[in-house]
Copies of this chain bind each other. A is one copy, B any other.
Amino acid sequence: MFAGAQVSLYPMTDGFVDVIMSSLSALDPYRERLRIETDDISTLIVGPPEVLFPALRDLYVAAAASRQHVVLRATLSRGCPGEPDDPICQTNALANPSEPLDSRQAGALAALAETPQTGETARAQFSLYVMGAGDHMAEIMGCIDFLKRSGTFDRSKNFCTRLIGDSGPVFATLQEAFCRFGPPQGHVTIDLTVSANSPSIA
């Protein structure tokens, strides 16, 4: 299995380089369990979902703490057939394929109940894509049903779903959506935007 993300931080300030560089230290506790490579467009983070999502949460919280308007963007992927297996991605976090949808939804909700708060609000918008054989819309609709009961659901929009809440539960909700829907050996991706301190919020 290969899993990871292409991640970017967009601080809407003249001091954007400083916000990005200082936020990156939030990844330090995770670096042994992730492979990280940066270019001018995004940072590749390779590793298992149970490490990746907390790392993204802490990166977001550090950037949001600058109090600038900052957006974290990520293209997340697991099981892409075009990517090689990588031992660093080994995980037990993916749902059992024989487990029915309602049981996976219950497991996701139980995991959320144990999630700590961070003190930073996250306004997130994301799309979950399930590729390959099987009824991909059933998995997506099952995921949306879970989201509506997650406590972080804001509203559905065209092409995506909005979440709002403390960053802890919001990133945990995203992790559950990524891990529990779509087959464990399938190709699942998320297109994610998380916005902090927007002046457009009244």
Q: Find out whether the CB atom of B159 lies under 8 angstroms from the CB atom of A77.
A: yes
| A52-71 vs B, Cβ < 8 Å mask (1 yes, 0 no) | 00000000000000000101
Closest to A4 in B: B158
A32 beta carbon closer than 8 Å to chain B = no
A170 at interface by CB-CB < 8 Å: no
Q: Which residues of B contact A5 (CB under 8 A)?
A: 159
Is A93 located at the chain interface by the 8 A CB criterion?
no
* Chain B min CB distance to A141 (Å): 8
Binding site for B on A (CB under 8 A): 2, 4-6, 8, 10-14, 16-17, 39-42, 44, 46, 69, 71, 73, 75, 77, 80-83, 123, 125, 127, 129-133, 136-137, 140-141, 157-160, 162, 189, 191, 193, 195, 198-201
